[in-house]
Amino acid sequence: MYLAPLNYDRFFKKVFSKKNIAKAFLEDFLDIKIIEIEILKKKNFITDNAIPVEFDYRCKLDNGEHIIIEMQQWYKTDIVKRFYLYHTLSSSLQLENLEEKVVSVDIETGKYIKDKLYNDLKPAITLIWMVDDDLGFKEDFVTYQMGVEDLINFVKDNKLWTKPFEEILSERQRVLELENNETKGLNFLSENKLIFIFQKNIVKNLKKGKKNNIKNKRYAKWFEFAFKTKNKKNRKTDFNDFKTDKTFIDIMHLLLKDRLTQEEIKYITKEEELKLADELKEVLKDVREEFTRNFDKDDVEYISLKEELERLLKKRNIFEATTEEIKENIPLLREIYKKIKALNRANERLSRKYKNDKKFAKIHKNLKNKLTAKEIEIQKRLLALKEKADEMVLNRSDIITQENIFKGELLKDVVNEFSDYNLKYDDFIYIGNLIVKEYVNEYRAS
């Protein structure tokens, strides 16, 4: 290792504590010119009872904007809500320094009543530097900001886009007038931004750009540099492209392995182990949640995935595994997660075809393996049977506790719906039993 990993919290904070480096990064990413940066307090007690919130980096620019930069290297499921909270705190903490003005006088005491000058509130911009996670995006970064709801609805309204072009333009004009309304500072809302930056995507897109001779974006070099330091076997020659840039020369001096303290070297080893253990815990949590969410536990695909997971967990206590074993286990768990999530999505799509009735989604899956018919035909017939069965249960609440009577009455409808199929009598009984079983199980579960 030639340079310590910039993505590790300790080294990120060490590097960005230098104003010239933070200023250069923000100028490159935000594409602005900054005259001065005021570094703000990172650790803040929000209320008497809340635990303190500590930002990775927080500053105020000369234009008044408050900036937070958060380095997110670990795999976490709560990042969206956590960083939204941080983002809102960046605005709330400005209350400490807002000036007051006299707004009225208390008639009884004669004392002045003061209020904050809220017009002095400045926009907050939060940058979340995602090291490995891309949140399912392919872009370099994605920005979220507050806008009028009609703007989102305009984009999402599928019916609108089938209308004549003149109507679409008219609706666009109406929405633009809403969005451009700056009365009493409404535009302030859209000046606040929550930006998720994806290091992995930037590096990938940068390689494509170089291959196609596309001009590099100013900010790309920062993430390419960080990506190179992430490699534990990084060498001096890996950073030849950065040796003529004064800012990166300063960064390299701060990250040089030969200049690190013993404590910093130990931190790198410990951080790697903690990162792996935490990632394993988070992935396993996601996997278990998806298995819990599945509503068809008798599905052969579900059973197969569950057995695959159990085999992996039974090898040994997964949290007592060696670092190398954990590295092997995480991709295997991720693959199981991907499969069970895909299965759950397929189940939910099927359920929606039956008005979100999970019972008939399960029945459909059982029948499609038994009947040589198109799924749309199975769906049509099952929807008709669902209507009949729902009506029976609704009009005769006791029928659910009398399975044989329920089966007998439903059997006539089953034969009627599937009469044009070459089915044996036992097949009709099988279909009827499937339906009744799901209704009875639902009743017992409630």
pLDDT at 52 over 70: yes
Q: Using an 8 Å Cβ cutoff, are 200 and 131 in contact?
A: yes
**C-alpha–C-alpha distance, residues 175 and 372, integer Å:** 51
pLDDT of residue 199: 96
pTM of the model: 0.68
Residue 318 pLDDT exceeds 70 = no
Amino acid at 100: E
* CA-based nearest residue to 330, from 379, 276, 394, 258: 276
Q: Which ranges constitute the DSSP H helices of 48-183?
A: 79-92, 149-156, 165-179
Q: What is the pLDDT of residues 365-403, one digit of tens each?
A: 988 878 877 889 889 999 999 999 999 999 988 898 898
Strands 53-54 and 66-72: unpaired
Give the model's pLDDT for residue 370: 80
Question: Which residue did the predictor score with more confidence, 397 or 355?
Answer: 355
Helix or strand run (H / E) with residue 246: helix 246-255
170-183 per-position pLDDT tens digit? 999 999 999 999 99
Tens digits of per-residue pLDDT, 109-118?
777 666 667 8
Q: Is the pLDDT of residue 103 over 90?
A: no
In contact, 34 and 270? CB cutoff 8 Å: no
Please, which pLDDT band fits residue 58 given cuts at 50, 70 and 90? very high
Count Cβ atoms below 10 Å from residue 218 Cβ, excluding itself.
13
Structure tokens at 372: 């040589």
Residue type at 113?
I
CA 35, distance to chain mean position in Å, is: 35
Q: How many CB atoms lie within 10 A of CB 83?
A: 20
Phi-psi map region of 378: left, alpha, beta (phi>0 left; psi -120 to 50 alpha) = alpha
Determine the Cα–Cα distance for residues 226 and 4; give it in Å rounded to an integer: 10
Neighbours of 196 (CB within 10 A): 22
